Amino acid sequence: MKRRTFLTVAGAGAATLAAPSLLRAQSAVRIGLITTLSGPGGYIGADIRDAFNLAVEMEGGKLGGVPVQVVVEDDGFRPGQGKTVAERMLRNDGIKLLTGIVFSNILGATLPDILDADAIYVSPNASPSNFAGKECHKNFYSIAWQNDTLHESAGQVAKELGHKRAFILAPNYQAGQDALAGFKRMFGGTIVGEQYTRLDQTDYAAEMAAIRAANPDVVFQFHPGGLGIAFLRQYAQAGLIGRVPMVVAAPSLDHTTLKAVGDVADGLWVSSHWNVDFDNAANKKFMAGFTQKHNRTPTYYASQSYDTALAIAAALQQTKGDIKPENFRTAMVKADFASVRGAFKFGPNQHPIQDWYALKAGKSASGEMQIVTQRKVLTAHGDIYAPQCKL
């Protein structure tokens, strides 16, 4: 399944803007967007693709006044395929600016080749700890977060809600272990149970019984996508909803999985850096554009991808379309764009310093499930790996 989608919008209109000094910018800057469009995580890749393209369309085929061409390819949810696609983009298509990867394991297989080719990678999602600390790189930027901070913010929400005894669960893989470590870092209370589930597990009955037996104040679980849907449903069927409050980080309940769990999510606390109801001009423009074009509620993945396009646009505008890594970097690290999250700046490791919020899922007046922003829990929060990064 190799799909190539070309979004070529460097139309005749660009020619009218021709200026002698901008001859190089006339040939559109090509941006390689490698993302996951197949398998259970396919909806995430679709959101990342659609939001990035939306930003380009809003500018009439340009980013920061520079014509761009977005080349979208599916990584098939396989690290090997992600690597192959990246190599082809770098070698055959001469692409020097890439983005789009959803999953950490695929990024881990793909990023080294990109950096070795002296190309730039701007991450709209996957940002594992190894690229934030000692192995940080001047050509790697994360627009999303550093992975740990997703769960640190959930720990902060649980602490601020006054919970003392937590039962925590995550799948037994790197991201799951990082999640529990991140939660514990901020929570500071007692952990009455810590269980690792399997990545191919679909039935959580045993865990539900264990939670009921431990009778904690709060449950924190990290189960992204379909795992989270199954976990939440079974949590409700086990009669635990309403008995034991639950706090999750953004990946365990996004606006797509919310639709699939239905009323079960009522009363759930979520920590996030963005929500659909953020009241700033950039977010209003994004929400209106996305819902109008795609007729669905964007997930936070879409917001991150849209921000990625805006960040690239701000840099391209300053360099007038030059993507030589050192010139691009000087412009990029200023983060001179209006993020849909509000406050955004880069830390020393080129990962975000941003605010985190407590959100709550509940029913709207019309009976629809929605996620409503409650309050800010962390201000200008960076990540713990930044000090280890020497750029």
Partner 1 sequence: MSLLFVEQVLNGLQLGVMLFLLAAGLTLIFGIMGIINLAHGSLYMVGAYAGSIAASATGSFLLAVPAGLAAAAVTGLAIEYLVIRKLYDRDHLDQVLATYGLVLLFNESISLIVGRQPLFVGVPPALSGSIEILPGMTFSVYRLTIIVAGLVIAAGLYALIQRTRLGMLIRAGATNRDMVRALGVDIKLLYTLVFGLGALLAGFAGVMAGPLLSVQVGMGEQILIMTFVVVVVGGVGSIRGALFGAIVVGLVDTLLRAFLPQLVRGLLADPSEADQLSAGLASMGVYVLMAIVLLWRPQGLFPARS
Closest contact distance (angstroms) between CB of 292 and partner 1 is 19
Closest contact distance (angstroms) between CB of 209 and partner 1 is 5
Among 252, 256, 303, 304, binds partner 1 (CB under 8 A): 256
> From the CB of residue 215, how many other CB atoms can be counted at a distance below 10 Å?
12
**Residues 39 to 98: which contact partner 1 by CB under 8 A?**
39-40, 42-43, 46
Binding mask 287-316 for partner 1 (x = CB under 8 A): ---------x--------------------
Binding mask 258-287 for partner 1 (x = CB under 8 A): -xxxx-------------------------
The answer for residues whose C-beta is within 8 angstroms of residue 6's C-beta and 6 or more apart is 69, 71
E strand intervals along the chain:
5-8, 29-35, 62-63, 66-74, 97-99, 120-123, 140-142, 165-171, 190-197, 218-221, 246-249, 269-272, 344-346, 352-363, 369-381
Among 161, 238, 338, 384, binds partner 1 (CB under 8 A): 238
DSSP 309-338: HHHHHHHHHHHTT---HHHHHHHHTT--S-
**Residues 19 to 38: which contact partner 1 by CB under 8 A?**
37-38
User: Which is closer to partner 1, CB of 37 or CB of 115?
Assistant: 37
The answer for residues whose C-beta is within 8 angstroms of residue 292's C-beta and 6 or more apart is none
Q: Does 11 bind partner 1 (CB under 8 A)?
A: no
Q: Does 230 bind partner 1 (CB under 8 A)?
A: yes
Closest by CA position to 71, among listed 45, 32, 120: 32
As a 3-state breakdown, the chain gives helix, strand, coil percent values, each rounded to 5, of 45, 25, 35
**Residues 137 to 176: which contact partner 1 by CB under 8 A?**
172
Cβ atoms of 165 and 216 within 8 Å: the answer is yes
Among 5, 202, 215, 388, binds partner 1 (CB under 8 A): 202
Handedness of CA 55, 58, 61, 63 (dihedral sign): negative
Q: Does 225 bind partner 1 (CB under 8 A)?
A: yes
Among 56, 143, 227, 276, binds partner 1 (CB under 8 A): 227
User: Which is closer to partner 1, CB of 177 or CB of 374?
Assistant: 177
Strand pairing category for 5-8 and 66-74: antiparallel
Which residues of this protein are in contact with partner 1, per CB under 8 A? 1, 37-40, 42-43, 46, 172, 177, 191, 193-198, 200, 202-203, 205-207, 209-210, 213, 225-230, 233-234, 237-239, 256-257, 259-262, 296
